[in-house]
Amino acid sequence: MTLGSQPHARPLATIRCVESLVLKLVVTPVLIGAASLAGRRWGAAVGGWLVGIPFTSGPIAFFLALDHGASFAASASVGMLVGTISQAVFCLAYAWTAPHLRWPASFGAGALGFAASTVVLRHLEVPATTAFVLTAAALVVALLLIPRDSSKPGAPEEEPPRWDLPARMVVATVFVLLLTAIAPLLGPYLSGLLSPFPLFGAILAVFTHHSQGSIAATRLLRGLLFGLFAPAGFFLALAVLIERLGIGLSFAAATASALAFQGVTLWLLSGR
């Protein structure tokens, strides 16, 4: 029986690998392209809020679940949840340095803050519910600490170059492919901590900083902080439910949770 089943096991494994690769190559750039276009339509703050949706870490968690199982994905989801704190640190470091430095230095400060936070959080292993409480508290503190401005909105954002959108999609896809490829070497928790790096928020912040100045970039980062409650809710639901409900139902519940948080935070952002 074992020998007879081997010829069938190999084609099934090959088909699964091909399906996973197709998902990575198609779903990721489509999601990022749609988010980028929507962000251009409604401005810097809403653009930052919109990319708070886990467009990269969400698909990564899905691919990890397909490739390595529900238990691996549950552990990675806790890491992704805690890693949201590092995104908040990135936003603060970038926003506090933006009025004084050009975008390369501000981006470097944000990336350094993210890395330092990740090193500290690497040693923090807590249950999903505790991780959510810590993450939510960190986001609230970051919103209180991020620089405020009382100026009126500036001029509309300049038309981006033609290569801008394809470049975002390519970088996003490469990031997803790379991280899912090395995930077994890093382990589930560290993979989760690294995957929430605010790649698209950073791209938007850099472009806005360059074209519209530091005030607009700070508005975008404030919007991103509001948007980060969505991935916190997403990964809390995923970490708690995926081993109980399976991949399909748990991701549906996590998506519903993220959308609920996005609705509330958009209302709060609009009120501000």
Going 143 to 112 to 54 to 206, the CA torsion angle's sign is positive
Q: How far apart are CA 54 and CA 76, in angstroms?
A: 14
Query: 195 to each of 74, 158, 189, 192, how far by Cα in Å?
Result: 14, 30, 10, 5
Most trustworthy range by pLDDT among 15-19, 187-191, 201-205, 236-240? 236-240
146: three-class secondary structure by DSSP? coil
The tens digit of pLDDT for each residue in 30-75 reads 766 776 676 677 766 777 787 777 776 777 788 778 778 888 888 8
Q: How far apart are CA 78 and CA 85, in angstroms?
A: 12
Q: How far apart are CA 11 and CA 109, in angstroms?
A: 48
| Backbone φ, ψ for residue 259 (5° rounding) | -65, -35
Q: How far apart are CA 220 and CA 225, in angstroms?
A: 9
User: For the packed helices 57-68 and 164-186, what is the interaxial angle rounded to 10 degrees?
Assistant: 40
Query: 82 to each of 165, 177, 251, 262, how far by Cα in Å?
Result: 29, 22, 18, 19
pLDDT of residue 160: 63
- pTM for this structure? 0.77
Whether residue 209 is predicted with pLDDT greater than 70 in this model: the reply is yes
Q: How far apart are CA 82 and CA 126, in angstroms?
A: 9
Q: How far apart are CA 183 and CA 33, in angstroms?
A: 25
Q: How far apart are CA 15 and CA 183, in angstroms?
A: 21
Task: Return the higher-pLDDT residue of 173 and 239.
Answer: 239
pLDDT of residue 193: 67
Average pLDDT, the chain: 79
The tens digit of pLDDT for each residue in 217-234 reads 898 899 899 989 998 999
> Which is nearest to 231 in space by CA: 253, 269, 262, 258?
258
Can you read off the two tokens belonging to residue 23? Answer: 């998902």
User: Which DSSP letter does residue 52 get?
Assistant: T
> Which is nearest to 228 in space by CA: 90, 60, 72, 108?
90
The tens digit of pLDDT for each residue in 114-153 reads 989 988 888 788 888 999 999 999 999 999 999 886 555 5
Whether residue 1 is predicted with pLDDT greater than 50 in this model: the reply is no
User: Which DSSP letter does residue 196 get?
Assistant: T
Query: 129 to each of 23, 62, 78, 233, how far by Cα in Å?
Result: 30, 20, 9, 10
CB contact burial 117-148 (16+ within 10 A = b; e otherwise): bbeebeeeeeebeebbebbbebbeebbeebee
> Given the structure tokens 């750039």, which residue do they identify?
29
> Residue range 77-96: average pLDDT?
92
